[in-house]
Amino acid sequence: MADAITIRGLTKAYGGRPAVDGLDLDIRTGECFALLGPNGAGKTTTVEIAEGFRDRDAGDVRVLGTDPQGAGLAWRNRVGIVLQSTGGLDLLTPREALASTAKAYSHPRDVADVLASVGLDDKADTRIVGLSGGQRRRLDVALGIVGRPDLLFLDEPTTGFDPQARRDFWGLIRALAAEGTTILLTTHYLDEAENLADRVGVIAAGRLLAVDTPEALGGRSAEEATVSWEEDGIRRSLTTSTPTAEVARLAAGMSGGEVPALTVTRPSLEDTYLTMIAPHVGHDAHDAHDATEVPA
Amino acid sequence: MSAIALGLDRTVLELKMYSREKEAVFFSFLFPILLLALFSVIFGSQFNGSDANGMTAGGYFLPGMLSAGVLLTSFQTMAMSVTAERDDGTLKRLRATPMPPVAYFLGKVGLVAIASTAQVALLLLVARVLFGVSLPSTADRWAVFAIVFALGVFGGTVLGIAYSSMATARTVGAVVIGPMLVLQFISGVYIAFDDVPPWLQQVASVFPLKWIAQGMRSVFYPSDLASAEMAGAWETGRTALVLLAWAVGGLVLCVLTFKWFKRGTT
């Protein structure tokens, strides 16, 4: 199947300063792809160009086989966008807002089903002004998926959520992915990317630095592991490329075969990510919009 | 769904939001009615129906309050709501859906048409029942009323949408309400137009509100009061032409300047 999104040599500058600088990116149909990057890296610009909200300076962009720049309503019918925050609906109820939005699409989901899937069925007829932050965010997602999109853009969906709300939310996104929806997620939470994404891309200074599965990003899976344990009340650790053998050797040397307080760790996705973007943070091109983002 | 059907759906949605916004209902929908009541009570003794034209305070202020109602419900409601919707991302969210843009505007026009018709009906009812204002009985007067009202409301709507591009949510209160208040005073809405100095009358004549007020006076005042107008006549034809010009100009301006995204975000 053709890729859902194909971007080649994408370039966009604001006032002469490049925000996106020759970016290439492919997002496969049916995958959940997380785009990571510091504020000002060009993430929002890239996503907004793919959403058809911004014009590019150069490069080729295909989203669902169509150039989003000037794409028509038939294309919008297949794309769902969950924006960073939605205001202006305070005086309506979730059911009213969803029912009205659904009417614009050719094959919308059932409003009651969508309300149930985002866990808002008991708030369906409450004014939106009375919803909590997490409930509003779930409503934003409901508005994004009610049109049964083939491709869903999710911009920092769980900022400000409590841990339980985030877990629930991830379940919702997994269910959408399982139905075959292609998802492009931007997030500042590395654990979110690790939990949801089939692949992650790291963007900095307007370019894509790496694309891989969360497990393998930046050679993580091949890197040396740290084995740590307690011996005579002292914490000891060593790094090794053969942690299994090391653990077996340690176990053989312990009375009872049990290694006290044993841990085996590899660099976290966050460690890998921070190492990767380190050369680009602090002096990369800030585009006007990304620079105003509230850091998560 | 077709754009027309979506426009109707948007109208219902807009009406729900409008009627649930207590501030909007009070300051644009009920405000002219309250003012009419207030003026009738305050100035009641000065009129008493005893002057040569037999006018009461309610009858004297009714055309002005009708004009203020047209302005508030069309121009002010649109300028403020579209500014807010651009600022809080509502327009961007709508733009992200396959809704035809015209459905959004039809929803706005539908809202204003229904709200201002209801407002005018209520104003006329209050004037007639509570303050004993005698309403015109001839069809030609009501025809003039319908034309002035329809052109005024349509013009106010498109001009309000166009005007919203000049404001942000932070500045909209000052940018809209300030000029509106000045315009209402110099256009003879709250005070008699012949008390306004001639040079200010000239300034007011550039804007549509003066013509709406004049048109309303021609409908509700005794015909011999035409001599108190600037031209010494009601100028019904010119009134219609000026209002039509503003309506067409406003529509063009609205189409040319409308933006879905707030400044600095695209």
Decide if B17 contacts B115 (C-beta within 8 A): no
Q: Which range has the worst mean pLDDT, A87-96, A121-130, A232-241, B177-186?
A: A232-241
Find the CATH number of the domain harbouring A164. 3.40.50.300
The per-residue pLDDT for A291 is 42
Would you call B93 and A74 a contact, using CB atoms and an 8 Å cutoff?
no
Chain B interface test: which of A73, A98, A139, A143 (most B C-beta within 10 Å): A73
The model's confidence at residue A2, banded by pLDDT at 50, 70 and 90, is confident
Average pLDDT in the B189-205 region?
89
For residues A225 and A238, what is the distance between their CA atoms, to the nearest angstrom? 8
pLDDT exceeds 70 at position B126: yes
Residues of A with CB under 8 A from a CB of B: 48, 51, 53-54, 73-74, 76-77, 79, 81, 83, 85-89, 91-92, 96, 100-101, 103-106, 127, 143, 147, 288-289
Is A111 among the domain residues? no
Rounded to 5°, the CA angle B86-A133-A143 comes to: 55
The model's confidence at residue A221, banded by pLDDT at 50, 70 and 90, is confident
B147 CB within 8 Å of a chain A CB: no
Interface ipTM: 0.83
pLDDT digits (tens, 9 = 90+) for A94-129: 999 999 999 999 999 999 999 998 889 899 999 999
The model's confidence at residue B43, banded by pLDDT at 50, 70 and 90, is confident
Chain A interface test: which of B97, B111, B261 (most A C-beta within 10 Å): B97
Range of the domain at A277: 5-78+150-218+269-292
Is A132 among the domain residues? no
Q: Which residue of B has its CA nearest to A149?
A: B97
For residue A201, list its beta bridge partners: A35, A211
Would you call A100 and B10 a contact, using CB atoms and an 8 Å cutoff?
yes
Average pLDDT in the A250-279 region?
85
In terms of Cα–Cα distance, which of B58, B33, B255, B16 is closest to B123? B33
The model's confidence at residue A284, banded by pLDDT at 50, 70 and 90, is very low
Would you call A53 and B261 a contact, using CB atoms and an 8 Å cutoff?
yes
For residues B62 and B55, what is the distance between their CA atoms, to the nearest angstrom? 11
Average pLDDT in the B50-72 region?
85
Q: Which helix (DSSP H) or strand (DSSP E) does residue B123 occupy? A: helix B101-129
Chain A interface test: which of B8, B23, B93, B261 (most A C-beta within 10 Å): B93
Nearest to A103 among B6, B21, B89 (CB): B6
Average pLDDT, chain B: 90
B265: chain A residues, CB-CB within 8 Å: 289
Do A11 and A66 share a structural domain? yes
Would you call A104 and B261 a contact, using CB atoms and an 8 Å cutoff?
no
Is A281 among the domain residues? yes
Nearest to B93 among A83, A91, A92 (CB): A83
The model's confidence at residue B265, banded by pLDDT at 50, 70 and 90, is low
Is A127 among the domain residues? no
The per-residue pLDDT for B264 is 62
pLDDT digits (tens, 9 = 90+) for B157-182: 999 999 998 888 888 888 998 999 99
Decide if B214 contacts B122 (C-beta within 8 A): no
The model's confidence at residue A232, banded by pLDDT at 50, 70 and 90, is confident
pLDDT exceeds 70 at position B52: no
More confident residue, B137 or A94: A94
Q: Give the single-character DSSP code of B34.
A: H
A104: chain B residues, CB-CB within 8 Å: 1, 6, 97-99, 103
The model's confidence at residue A294, banded by pLDDT at 50, 70 and 90, is very low
B264: chain A residues, CB-CB within 8 Å: 288-289
In terms of Cα–Cα distance, which of A109, A81, A66, A269 is closest to A184? A81
Is A93 among the domain residues? no
Nearest to A76 among B9, B92, B97 (CB): B97
| Amino acid residing at A59 | G
Q: Which residue of A has its CA nearest to B3?
A: A104
Nearest-neighbour CA in chain B from A268: distance (Å)? 34
Q: Give the single-character DSSP code of A109.
A: P
Do A251 and A165 share a structural domain? no
Residues 6+ away with beta carbon under 8 Å from A124: A93, A94, A95, A112, A115
Do A277 and A212 share a structural domain? yes
The per-residue pLDDT for B263 is 67
Average pLDDT in the A49-74 region?
94
For residues A76 and A33, what is the distance between their CA atoms, to the nearest angstrom? 20
Share of chain A above pLDDT 90, in %: 52
Scan for tokens 């009129």, then name that residue: B47
B17: chain A residues, CB-CB within 8 Å: 91-92
Would you call A143 and B93 a contact, using CB atoms and an 8 Å cutoff?
yes
Average pLDDT, chain A: 88
pLDDT exceeds 60 at position B21: yes
Q: Which helix (DSSP H) or strand (DSSP E) does residue B1 occupy? A: none
pLDDT exceeds 60 at position B50: no
The per-residue pLDDT for B49 is 58
Do A274 and A208 share a structural domain? yes
Q: Which range has the worst mean pLDDT, A254-263, B60-69, B100-109?
A: A254-263
A105: chain B residues, CB-CB within 8 Å: 97-98
Average pLDDT in the A5-29 region?
94
pLDDT exceeds 80 at position B53: no
Do A25 and A70 share a structural domain? yes
Would you call A100 and B261 a contact, using CB atoms and an 8 Å cutoff?
no
Is A73 among the domain residues? yes
The per-residue pLDDT for A287 is 43
The per-residue pLDDT for A279 is 86
Give the SS3 label for residue A184. Answer: strand
Average pLDDT in the B254-266 region?
79
**Each residue of A206-245: b (16+ CB within 10 Å) or e?**
bbbbbbbebeebbebeeeebebbbeeeeeeeeeeeeebee
Is A128 among the domain residues? no
The per-residue pLDDT for A211 is 93
Query: How many domains does the structure of chain A reveal?
Result: 2
Would you call A92 and B264 a contact, using CB atoms and an 8 Å cutoff?
no
Q: Which residue of B has its CA nearest to A56?
A: B266
pTM to 2 decimals? 0.84
Do A40 and A22 share a structural domain? yes
In terms of Cα–Cα distance, which of A190, A230, A142, A91 is closest to B14? A91
Scan for tokens 């900095």, then name that residue: A204
Decide if A229 contacts A262 (C-beta within 8 A): yes
Using CB atoms within 10 Å of the CB of residue A247, give its burial: 0 to 12 exposed, 13 to 18 middle, 19+ buried. Answer: middle
Do A250 and A160 share a structural domain? no
Q: Encoding tokens for residue B169? A: 């949510």
Nearest-neighbour CA in chain B from A281: distance (Å)? 23
Average pLDDT in the B67-89 region?
92
Share of chain B above pLDDT 70, in %: 96
Would you call A147 and B17 a contact, using CB atoms and an 8 Å cutoff?
no
Q: Which range has the worst mean pLDDT, A148-152, A189-193, B111-115?
A: A189-193
Q: Encoding tokens for residue A36? A: 């990571």
Is A137 among the domain residues? no
The per-residue pLDDT for A282 is 63
- Backbone torsion region of residue A35, taken as left when φ is above 0, otherwise alpha when ψ lies between -120 and 50, otherwise beta: beta
Using CB atoms within 10 Å of the CB of residue A163, give its burial: 0 to 12 exposed, 13 to 18 middle, 19+ buried. Answer: exposed
Nearest to A91 among B1, B17, B92 (CB): B17
Nearest to A76 among B6, B85, B98 (CB): B98
Nearest-neighbour CA in chain B from A81: distance (Å)? 7
B142 CB within 8 Å of a chain A CB: no
Kindly list the distances between the CA atom of residue B259 and the CA atoms of A77, B262, B263, in Å, as whole numbers in the listed order. Answer: 21, 7, 9
